[in-house]
């Protein structure tokens, strides 16, 4: 079945949303190798930094996928090795920098 080009784009977008869910605000935890000083928090769009030995975890809510990619580009520009990226429901789990998982008391 053939569709007009504008219809194909719309249907592809709908299929993508159905498969991958919403691309709106989400809570992320991003772990990098290396120690970032707290002064970097403002450069990382307000994500909170926590340091554990030789790793730094950036955590917080980002408005969309574009903001996530922006943070990842900044990590790349600093030359920090990326260890993990997790998208989490804020109310369910929060990992500590050492990798432990704690249940939230919301």
- Is residue 98 within 8 A of residue 41, CB to CB? The reply is no
- Each residue's pLDDT tens digit, 6-43: 555 556 556 555 555 556 899 999 999 999 988 888 89
From the CA atom positions of the chain, what is the Rg in Å?
Answer: 17
CATH 3.40.710.10 fits 23-96, yes or no: no
Beta strand spans in the chain (E) = 26-33, 48-52, 55-62, 82-88, 93-95, 101-103
Q: What is the pTM of this model?
A: 0.66
Q: How far is CA 87 from CA 5, 12, 16, 53, 82, in A?
A: 33, 23, 18, 23, 15
Which tokens in the block code for residue 2? 């053939």
- Each residue's pLDDT tens digit, 42-75: 899 889 999 998 999 999 999 999 999 999 999 9
């Amino acid at each position: 079945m053939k569709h007009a080009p504008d219809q194909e784009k719309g249907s592809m977008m709908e299929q993508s949303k159905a498969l991958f869910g919403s691309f709106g605000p989400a809570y992320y935890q991003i772990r990098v190798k290396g120690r970032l000083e707290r002064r970097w928090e403002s450069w990382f769009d307000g994500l909170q930094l926590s340091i554990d030995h030789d790793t730094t975890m950036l955590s917080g809510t980002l408005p969309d996928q574009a903001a996530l990619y922006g943070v990842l580009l900044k990590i790349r520009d600093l030359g920090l090795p990326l260890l993990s990226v997790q998208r989490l429901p804020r109310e369910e789990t929060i990992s500590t920098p050492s990798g432990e998982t704690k249940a939230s008391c919301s």
